[in-house]
Structure 1
Amino acid sequence: MIGPVTKRRTDGLSKDVIVRAAAGILDEAGEAALTFRALTARLDTGYGAIYHHVANKSDLLAAATDDVIARVMTGTADGAEPREALRTVALGLFDAIDAHPWVGAQLSREPWRPALMEIYERIGGLLDALGVPERALFDAAGALVNYVLGVAGQNAANARLLTSGQGDRSAFLADVSARWASLDPDRYPFVRRAAAHLREHDDREQFLAGVDFFLAGIATLR
């Protein structure tokens, strides 16, 4: 039920203002905190002014996600050669989902929204410019998009885990690294070797290394 209007803004309330305010609540406290009551309090307005632009919370989440992705896509790597542009776009998405963890969840929840179409269009277009043959273009674009969004989403989930009381990243990685190093060397020889790298690895650098592996493989498609 829509509650009573207790305050009114004297200036106009655009959808952009509502969406940015919703994104602020999502960044600060997550999806559970995004309610129309919280939004009216932040914007100092009534329910009607918000319902005029968005129908419900799902619509609001989708619009906020579209806005974040549109800002990543707009002007990112314009003029760069395709391979470098792909790396820049991929890293821009990684950083955006790291800063706004709810974006990754929303992209998987409603894949038909404009945000995901923008991602596919940009990455697919750059792969086309890179010379990927038509027969492989769809699969190459899907694989790279899935890698980018999957790793970015997992990284954001890990960051949320640490901020929810699991300690800082260095201590967490040190603990996991020690556990890996103590495993049975006959059963887990690779994991034990990887333990030394786990402690000091950089998430963004590892992510970009994965993008480069994809691009190296894609370059063989002729």
Structure 2
Amino acid sequence: MAKTPANGSARTPRRKDGLSRDVIIQTAIELLDGGGESALTLRALTVHLSTGYGAIYHHVADKGDLLSTATDEVFARVLTGAVVDADPRESLRRLALGLFDAIDAHPWVAAELSRQPWRPALLDFYESIARLLDALDVPARARFDAAGTFMSYVLGEAVQNAANARQLADSGTDRAAFLDAAAAHWAEVDPGKYPFVHAAVKQLREHDDREQFLAGVDIVMAGIATLR
């Protein structure tokens, strides 16, 4: 029988296999996905990994280092998963949708991006966009503005989508119920003053955020196409 320490608390069983930084980061991502930023603590890591604080600190500096590296890992997966197609336009759509889906699946990434907006992973993402714009024959003089506009739209929409989902989850509100309420409000406005708002009631109630995001990507890319 294992001995119990004098203070009465049971010791955490120590893992017998090696502990790597990759394993720590993957566990951190799982904790973040399950409970958000508050769920990621060094204590939670030691329990999930069956190890001690010293082993964790051997690989990461602190919680900030964990959040930063976990965010970079999410971006790396997007870049790896977006297979570069023969058609650079399709590759741009895949990159955009990959980031949207990644932040939707890992909403804590949005908060980390607001703290460190120009992290190395974002530079990699920007570089990938610029290369694809080059393949689309966007002139060098226009590439800076085109890449910035594309990236701002993709990041802005992805982060806002995650924020909306988090707000609904925190309030316990169903998305369909929220849209129904918003559509009902739009239906009551004066159609003479707000003709577009009044006409868009059905679309508001039935729209899919992911499809609308892709429609926006196509609009941005249509504008970029004129730069050629």
Give the TM-score category using the shorter length. Answer: over 0.9
Aligned residues: 218
Task: Quote how far apart the aligned CAs of 1:164 are.
Answer: 2.0
Q: Which ranges of structure 1 fall in alignment gaps of 5 or more residues?
A: none
Looking at structure 2, the residues matched to 29 and 92 of structure 1 have their Cα atoms a distance apart, in angstroms, of 22
| 1:122, distance to aligned residue in structure 2 (A) | 1.0
In structure 2, distance between residues paired with 1:93 and 1:143:
15
Compute the displacement of 1:75 (Å).
Answer: 4.3
**Displacement of 1:155 after TM fit?**
0.8
Secondary structure at the aligned position of 2:59 is classed as coil
Matched ranges for 1:30-179 at <5 A: 30-179=36-185
**Aligned-pair RMSD on alpha carbons?**
1.4
- How far apart are the structure 2 equivalents of 1:166 and 1:19? 30
Match of 1:184, SS state, is: coil
1:182 aligns with 2:198: no
Contact (CA 8 Å) 1:177, 1:196: kept in 2 or not? yes
- Alpha carbons 2:12, 2:47 under 8 Å: kept: no
Tell me, yes or no, if structure 1 residue 12 matches structure 2 residue 14.
Answer: no
Deviations 1:139-167, CA, capped at 9 Å, x for gaps: 11111111101101111111112222332
Who wins on radius of gyration, i.e. which is larger? 2
Give the alignment's TM-score, normalised by structure 1.
Answer: 0.93
Offset at 1:187?
3.3
Unaligned segments of structure 2, at least 5 residues: 1-10
| 1:6 Cα deviation after fit | 4.6
Q: Percent identity?
A: 66
Shift of 1:87: 0.4
TM normalised by structure 2 equals 0.91
Asked if the contact 1:124/1:137 (under 8 Å) is kept, the reply is yes
SS in 1 for 2:143: helix
Cα distance, 1:168 vs. partner? 1.6
Q: For the residues of structure 2 that align with 1:166 and 1:186, how far apart are their CA atoms? A: 35
1:40: how far off?
A: 1.1
